[in-house]
Protein backbone atom coordinates (compact mmCIF):
# COMPACT_ATOMS: atom_id res chain seq x y z
CA UNK A 1 0.00 0.00 0.00
CA UNK A 2 2.76 2.50 0.80
CA UNK A 3 4.27 3.05 -2.65
CA UNK A 4 6.04 6.24 -3.72
CA UNK A 5 7.84 7.83 -0.81
CA UNK A 6 10.21 10.76 -0.30
CA UNK A 7 12.65 10.81 2.63
CA UNK A 8 15.18 13.41 3.76
CA UNK A 9 18.06 13.57 6.21
CA UNK A 10 20.05 16.70 6.98
CA UNK A 11 23.49 17.48 8.38
CA UNK A 12 25.21 14.31 7.23
CA UNK A 13 28.69 13.74 8.62
CA UNK A 14 31.63 13.18 6.30
CA UNK A 15 31.61 9.50 7.24
CA UNK A 16 27.90 9.14 6.49
CA UNK A 17 28.36 10.74 3.09
CA UNK A 18 31.29 8.47 2.31
CA UNK A 19 29.33 5.36 3.26
CA UNK A 20 26.21 6.29 1.27
CA UNK A 21 28.26 7.18 -1.81
CA UNK A 22 30.13 3.88 -1.68
CA UNK A 23 27.17 1.65 -0.82
CA UNK A 24 24.75 3.23 -3.29
CA UNK A 25 27.42 3.74 -5.95
CA UNK A 26 26.61 7.43 -6.35
CA UNK A 27 28.42 9.44 -9.00
CA UNK A 28 30.15 12.69 -8.06
CA UNK A 29 29.15 16.00 -9.67
CA UNK A 30 30.96 19.29 -9.20
CA UNK A 31 28.97 22.53 -9.23
CA UNK A 32 30.95 25.75 -8.71
CA UNK A 33 33.53 23.85 -6.74
CA UNK A 34 30.95 22.15 -4.49
CA UNK A 35 30.36 18.41 -4.63
CA UNK A 36 27.02 16.65 -5.07
CA UNK A 37 26.34 12.96 -5.53
CA UNK A 38 23.45 11.03 -7.07
CA UNK A 39 22.49 7.88 -8.99
CA UNK A 40 20.25 9.50 -11.58
CA UNK A 41 21.77 7.69 -14.55
CA UNK A 42 21.87 4.28 -12.86
CA UNK A 43 18.85 4.15 -10.55
CA UNK A 44 16.68 2.03 -12.84
CA UNK A 45 19.40 -0.61 -12.85
CA UNK A 46 19.44 -0.83 -9.04
CA UNK A 47 15.77 -0.79 -8.07
CA UNK A 48 14.47 2.57 -9.30
CA UNK A 49 15.09 4.55 -6.09
CA UNK A 50 16.73 7.95 -6.54
CA UNK A 51 19.39 8.95 -4.02
CA UNK A 52 20.97 12.42 -4.02
CA UNK A 53 23.37 14.08 -1.59
CA UNK A 54 23.21 17.88 -1.88
CA UNK A 55 25.86 20.53 -1.38
CA UNK A 56 24.36 21.35 2.02
CA UNK A 57 25.09 17.79 3.23
CA UNK A 58 21.49 16.62 3.14
CA UNK A 59 20.29 13.50 1.36
CA UNK A 60 17.03 12.91 -0.50
CA UNK A 61 15.70 9.41 -1.19
CA UNK A 62 12.67 9.01 -3.45
CA UNK A 63 11.04 6.14 -5.28
CA UNK A 64 8.46 3.37 -5.27
CA UNK A 65 8.70 0.78 -2.50
CA UNK A 66 6.37 -1.48 -4.48
CA UNK A 67 8.57 -1.33 -7.59
CA UNK A 68 11.70 -1.80 -5.49
CA UNK A 69 10.25 -4.94 -3.87
CA UNK A 70 9.29 -6.32 -7.29
CA UNK A 71 12.78 -5.55 -8.57
CA UNK A 72 14.37 -7.46 -5.72
CA UNK A 73 12.05 -10.39 -6.38
CA UNK A 74 11.86 -10.42 -10.17
CA UNK A 75 14.37 -7.91 -11.52
CA UNK A 76 11.54 -5.72 -12.92
CA UNK A 77 10.27 -2.26 -11.93
CA UNK A 78 6.55 -3.05 -11.72
CA UNK A 79 3.79 -2.14 -9.26
CA UNK A 80 0.63 -3.59 -10.82
CA UNK A 81 -0.02 -6.37 -8.27
CA UNK A 82 -0.87 -6.36 -4.55
CA UNK A 83 1.42 -4.82 -1.93
CA UNK A 84 0.49 -4.74 1.75
CA UNK A 85 1.65 -2.56 4.62
CA UNK A 86 3.58 -5.53 6.00
CA UNK A 87 5.38 -5.88 2.69
CA UNK A 88 6.20 -2.16 2.79
CA UNK A 89 7.74 -2.60 6.27
CA UNK A 90 9.90 -5.46 5.02
CA UNK A 91 10.95 -3.49 1.95
CA UNK A 92 11.93 -0.26 3.74
CA UNK A 93 14.34 -2.18 5.99
CA UNK A 94 16.05 -3.70 2.96
CA UNK A 95 16.12 -0.37 1.11
CA UNK A 96 17.74 1.51 3.99
CA UNK A 97 20.40 -1.16 4.35
CA UNK A 98 21.07 -1.21 0.60
CA UNK A 99 21.56 2.58 0.53
CA UNK A 100 23.95 2.48 3.46
CA UNK A 101 22.19 5.15 5.50
CA UNK A 102 21.65 5.23 9.25
CA UNK A 103 17.83 5.45 9.75
CA UNK A 104 18.15 7.68 12.82
CA UNK A 105 17.19 11.22 11.76
CA UNK A 106 15.75 10.09 8.40
CA UNK A 107 12.33 11.74 7.88
CA UNK A 108 9.38 11.03 5.60
CA UNK A 109 8.31 14.19 3.75
CA UNK A 110 5.85 12.74 1.23
CA UNK A 111 4.15 9.41 0.64
CA UNK A 112 1.59 7.70 -1.55
CA UNK A 113 -0.85 4.96 -0.57
CA UNK A 114 -2.38 2.89 -3.36
CA UNK A 115 -3.92 -0.40 -4.40
CA UNK A 116 -4.52 -2.11 -7.74
CA UNK A 117 -7.83 -3.82 -8.44
CA UNK A 118 -8.53 -6.32 -11.20
CA UNK A 119 -11.89 -5.39 -12.72
CA UNK A 120 -14.28 -7.01 -15.20
CA UNK A 121 -15.52 -3.74 -16.69
CA UNK A 122 -13.47 -1.60 -19.05
CA UNK A 123 -11.65 0.98 -16.86
CA UNK A 124 -12.73 3.84 -19.14
CA UNK A 125 -16.37 3.03 -18.33
CA UNK A 126 -15.62 3.18 -14.61
CA UNK A 127 -13.76 6.49 -14.96
CA UNK A 128 -16.59 8.02 -17.01
CA UNK A 129 -19.02 7.19 -14.22
CA UNK A 130 -17.02 8.80 -11.41
CA UNK A 131 -18.03 12.22 -10.14
CA UNK A 132 -16.14 13.04 -6.92
CA UNK A 133 -14.74 11.80 -3.63
CA UNK A 134 -15.91 12.79 -0.16
CA UNK A 135 -19.18 13.80 1.47
CA UNK A 136 -20.96 17.13 2.00
CA UNK A 137 -18.54 20.03 2.55
CA UNK A 138 -15.56 17.68 2.07
CA UNK A 139 -16.64 16.56 -1.41
CA UNK A 140 -13.92 17.05 -4.04
CA UNK A 141 -14.59 16.77 -7.79
CA UNK A 142 -12.46 14.31 -9.76
CA UNK A 143 -11.30 15.76 -13.08
CA UNK A 144 -9.84 14.16 -16.19
CA UNK A 145 -6.13 14.92 -16.17
CA UNK A 146 -5.35 16.31 -19.67
CA UNK A 147 -1.74 15.17 -19.33
CA UNK A 148 -2.85 11.61 -20.07
CA UNK A 149 -4.43 10.16 -23.22
CA UNK A 150 -7.98 8.89 -23.62
CA UNK A 151 -9.24 10.34 -20.32
CA UNK A 152 -7.51 7.46 -18.53
CA UNK A 153 -6.74 9.35 -15.31
CA UNK A 154 -8.95 11.28 -12.90
CA UNK A 155 -7.60 13.35 -10.01
CA UNK A 156 -8.72 15.92 -7.50
CA UNK A 157 -7.01 19.30 -7.70
CA UNK A 158 -3.34 18.81 -6.84
CA UNK A 159 -1.69 22.23 -6.86
CA UNK A 160 1.23 22.77 -4.49
CA UNK A 161 -0.86 24.39 -1.74
CA UNK A 162 -2.81 21.17 -1.11
CA UNK A 163 -1.31 18.53 1.16
CA UNK A 164 -3.54 15.64 0.07
CA UNK A 165 -4.89 14.70 -3.35
CA UNK A 166 -6.60 11.64 -4.83
CA UNK A 167 -6.09 9.82 -8.12
CA UNK A 168 -7.82 6.92 -9.91
CA UNK A 169 -6.66 5.59 -13.26
CA UNK A 170 -6.36 2.80 -15.81
CA UNK A 171 -3.17 1.04 -14.72
CA UNK A 172 -2.72 -0.95 -17.94
CA UNK A 173 -3.11 2.20 -20.05
CA UNK A 174 -0.45 3.90 -17.92
CA UNK A 175 1.99 1.00 -18.39
CA UNK A 176 1.47 0.93 -22.15
CA UNK A 177 1.83 4.72 -22.29
CA UNK A 178 5.22 4.31 -20.60
CA UNK A 179 6.06 1.45 -22.99
CA UNK A 180 6.18 -1.13 -20.23
CA UNK A 181 5.16 -4.74 -20.65
CA UNK A 182 1.63 -5.08 -19.30
CA UNK A 183 0.41 -8.16 -17.37
CA UNK A 184 -1.95 -10.69 -18.89
CA UNK A 185 -4.97 -9.24 -17.10
CA UNK A 186 -6.00 -6.36 -19.37
CA UNK A 187 -8.19 -4.52 -16.85
CA UNK A 188 -6.70 -2.96 -13.69
CA UNK A 189 -7.93 0.15 -11.88
CA UNK A 190 -5.56 1.81 -9.41
CA UNK A 191 -6.59 4.21 -6.64
CA UNK A 192 -4.06 6.42 -4.84
CA UNK A 193 -3.89 9.00 -2.07
CA UNK A 194 -0.81 11.22 -1.95
CA UNK A 195 0.15 13.20 1.16
CA UNK A 196 2.77 15.94 0.85
CA UNK A 197 4.58 18.24 3.26
CA UNK A 198 4.66 15.63 6.03
CA UNK A 199 6.26 17.18 9.12
CA UNK A 200 8.18 15.80 12.09
CA UNK A 201 7.81 12.16 11.07
CA UNK A 202 10.85 9.91 11.27
CA UNK A 203 11.00 6.76 9.15
CA UNK A 204 11.29 4.52 12.21
CA UNK A 205 8.04 5.96 13.58
CA UNK A 206 6.26 6.10 10.23
CA UNK A 207 6.68 2.36 9.64
CA UNK A 208 5.48 1.33 13.08
CA UNK A 209 2.56 -1.10 12.77
CA UNK A 210 0.17 1.20 14.64
CA UNK A 211 0.92 4.15 12.34
CA UNK A 212 0.60 2.10 9.15
CA UNK A 213 -2.66 0.65 10.41
CA UNK A 214 -3.99 4.19 10.92
CA UNK A 215 -2.86 5.26 7.43
CA UNK A 216 -4.56 2.22 5.88
CA UNK A 217 -7.84 2.89 7.69
CA UNK A 218 -7.73 6.55 6.64
CA UNK A 219 -7.08 5.53 3.03
CA UNK A 220 -10.10 3.24 2.87
CA UNK A 221 -12.30 5.69 4.77
CA UNK A 222 -11.67 8.26 2.03
CA UNK A 223 -12.20 5.87 -0.89
CA UNK A 224 -15.35 4.46 0.74
CA UNK A 225 -16.87 7.79 -0.29
CA UNK A 226 -16.11 7.66 -4.00
CA UNK A 227 -19.19 9.13 -5.71
CA UNK A 228 -20.57 8.01 -9.05
CA UNK A 229 -23.04 9.83 -11.29
CA UNK A 230 -26.65 8.73 -10.69
CA UNK A 231 -29.05 7.29 -13.23
CA UNK A 232 -32.83 7.81 -13.43
CA UNK A 233 -35.99 5.83 -14.08
CA UNK A 234 -38.66 7.87 -15.85
CA UNK A 235 -42.37 7.40 -16.51
CA UNK A 236 -43.18 5.37 -19.61
CA UNK A 237 -43.19 7.51 -22.74
CA UNK A 238 -40.76 10.15 -21.39
CA UNK A 239 -38.70 11.65 -24.23
CA UNK A 240 -35.04 10.61 -24.24
CA UNK A 241 -33.91 14.24 -24.20
CA UNK A 242 -35.97 14.96 -21.10
CA UNK A 243 -34.49 11.87 -19.38
CA UNK A 244 -30.96 13.09 -20.15
CA UNK A 245 -31.81 16.56 -18.86
CA UNK A 246 -33.26 15.09 -15.66
CA UNK A 247 -30.09 13.03 -15.19
CA UNK A 248 -27.95 16.17 -15.60
CA UNK A 249 -30.07 18.05 -13.05
CA UNK A 250 -29.75 15.26 -10.49
CA UNK A 251 -25.98 15.02 -10.91
CA UNK A 252 -25.06 18.68 -11.43
CA UNK A 253 -27.85 20.79 -9.92
CA UNK A 254 -30.16 23.44 -11.37
CA UNK A 255 -27.70 26.34 -11.42
CA UNK A 256 -24.94 24.54 -13.31
CA UNK A 257 -27.32 23.00 -15.86
CA UNK A 258 -29.15 26.29 -16.47
CA UNK A 259 -25.87 28.15 -16.98
CA UNK A 260 -24.76 25.46 -19.40
CA UNK A 261 -27.92 25.82 -21.50
CA UNK A 262 -27.59 29.60 -21.48
CA UNK A 263 -24.02 29.29 -22.78
CA UNK A 264 -25.10 26.86 -25.49
CA UNK A 265 -27.96 29.11 -26.58
CA UNK A 266 -25.91 32.32 -26.64
CA UNK A 267 -23.18 30.62 -28.67
CA UNK A 268 -25.82 29.37 -31.17
CA UNK A 269 -25.03 25.75 -30.42
CA UNK A 270 -28.68 24.97 -29.65
CA UNK A 271 -31.84 26.45 -31.19
CA UNK A 272 -34.63 28.42 -29.52
CA UNK A 273 -36.83 25.35 -30.03
CA UNK A 274 -34.53 23.32 -27.75
CA UNK A 275 -33.57 26.07 -25.32
CA UNK A 276 -36.97 27.34 -24.12
CA UNK A 277 -38.54 23.94 -23.29
CA UNK A 278 -35.36 22.97 -21.48
CA UNK A 279 -35.34 26.29 -19.60
CA UNK A 280 -38.96 25.75 -18.50
CA UNK A 281 -38.21 22.18 -17.41
CA UNK A 282 -35.20 23.35 -15.35
CA UNK A 283 -37.19 26.17 -13.70
CA UNK A 284 -39.89 23.67 -12.72
CA UNK A 285 -37.44 20.99 -11.65
CA UNK A 286 -38.56 20.92 -8.00
CA UNK A 287 -41.92 19.65 -9.23
CA UNK A 288 -40.70 17.67 -12.25
CA UNK A 289 -38.19 15.66 -10.23
CA UNK A 290 -41.04 13.92 -8.40
CA UNK A 291 -41.74 12.04 -11.64
CA UNK A 292 -38.25 10.52 -11.73
CA UNK A 293 -36.72 7.83 -9.56
CA UNK A 294 -33.01 8.14 -8.80
CA UNK A 295 -30.99 4.93 -8.98
CA UNK A 296 -27.37 3.81 -8.92
CA UNK A 297 -25.73 2.61 -12.13
CA UNK A 298 -24.58 -0.92 -12.95
CA UNK A 299 -21.05 0.48 -13.18
CA UNK A 300 -21.25 1.68 -9.58
CA UNK A 301 -22.52 -1.69 -8.35
CA UNK A 302 -19.80 -3.63 -10.15
CA UNK A 303 -17.04 -1.31 -8.93
CA UNK A 304 -18.32 -1.33 -5.35
CA UNK A 305 -18.34 -5.14 -5.25
CA UNK A 306 -14.75 -5.26 -6.51
CA UNK A 307 -13.63 -2.51 -4.14
CA UNK A 308 -15.16 -4.32 -1.13
CA UNK A 309 -13.38 -7.53 -2.09
CA UNK A 310 -10.00 -5.76 -1.99
CA UNK A 311 -10.92 -3.75 1.10
CA UNK A 312 -11.67 -6.95 3.00
CA UNK A 313 -8.53 -8.62 1.68
CA UNK A 314 -6.22 -5.82 2.78
CA UNK A 315 -8.02 -5.38 6.10
CA UNK A 316 -7.50 -9.06 6.88
CA UNK A 317 -3.99 -8.97 5.35
CA UNK A 318 -4.78 -12.00 3.17
CA UNK A 319 -2.67 -10.55 0.35
CA UNK A 320 0.63 -10.91 2.17
CA UNK A 321 2.24 -13.13 -0.46
CA UNK A 322 5.56 -11.32 -0.82
CA UNK A 323 8.40 -13.74 -1.46
CA UNK A 324 10.95 -13.34 1.32
CA UNK A 325 13.71 -10.94 0.40
CA UNK A 326 17.08 -12.46 1.11
CA UNK A 327 19.28 -9.68 2.47
CA UNK A 328 22.38 -11.78 1.82
CA UNK A 329 21.84 -11.32 -1.91
CA UNK A 330 21.88 -7.52 -1.71
CA UNK A 331 25.12 -5.93 -2.85
CA UNK A 332 25.24 -2.12 -3.04
CA UNK A 333 21.55 -1.79 -3.72
CA UNK A 334 21.26 -4.47 -6.40
CA UNK A 335 20.33 -8.13 -6.36
- Nearest residue to 151 (alpha-carbon basis) of 171, 128, 167: 128
Per-residue pLDDT tens for 70-96?
A: 999 999 999 999 999 999 999 999 999
**pLDDT at res. 327:** 35
**Local structure of 229: helix, strand or coil:** coil
Per-residue pLDDT tens for 287-308?
A: 999 999 999 999 999 999 999 9
> Do 126 and 303 touch, CB atoms closer than 8 A?
yes
Greater pLDDT, 158 or 62: 62
What is the 3-class SS of 134-186, one letter each residue?
A: CCHHHCEECEECCCCHHHCEEECCCCCCCCEEEEEEEHHHHHHHCCCCCCCCC
Share of the chain above pLDDT 90, in %: 84
Domain-wise residue ranges, the chain: 2-228+304-318, 231-295
Alpha carbon separation from 134 to 63, 68, 142, 181, 279 (Å, rounded)? 28, 32, 10, 34, 31
DSSP 297-334: -HHHHHHHHHHHHHHHHHHTTTT--PPPP-GGG-BTTB
Average pLDDT over residues 278-286: 96
**pLDDT class for 230, splitting at 50, 70, 90?**
very high
**Local structure of 81: helix, strand or coil:** coil
- d(Cα 304, Cα 195) in Å, to the nearest integer? 24
**What pTM does this model have?**
0.88
Amino acid sequence: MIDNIVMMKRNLSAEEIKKIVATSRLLEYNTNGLKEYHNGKMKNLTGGVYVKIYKNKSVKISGSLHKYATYLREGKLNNFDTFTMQQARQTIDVLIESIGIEPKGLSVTEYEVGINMNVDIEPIKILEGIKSIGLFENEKPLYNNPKYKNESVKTTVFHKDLRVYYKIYDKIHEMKDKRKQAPSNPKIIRIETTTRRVENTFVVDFFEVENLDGIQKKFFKAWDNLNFYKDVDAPKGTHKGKMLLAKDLINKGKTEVMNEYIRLYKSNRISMKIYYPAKKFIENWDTERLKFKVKTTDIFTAFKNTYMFYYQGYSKNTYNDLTAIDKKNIVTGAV
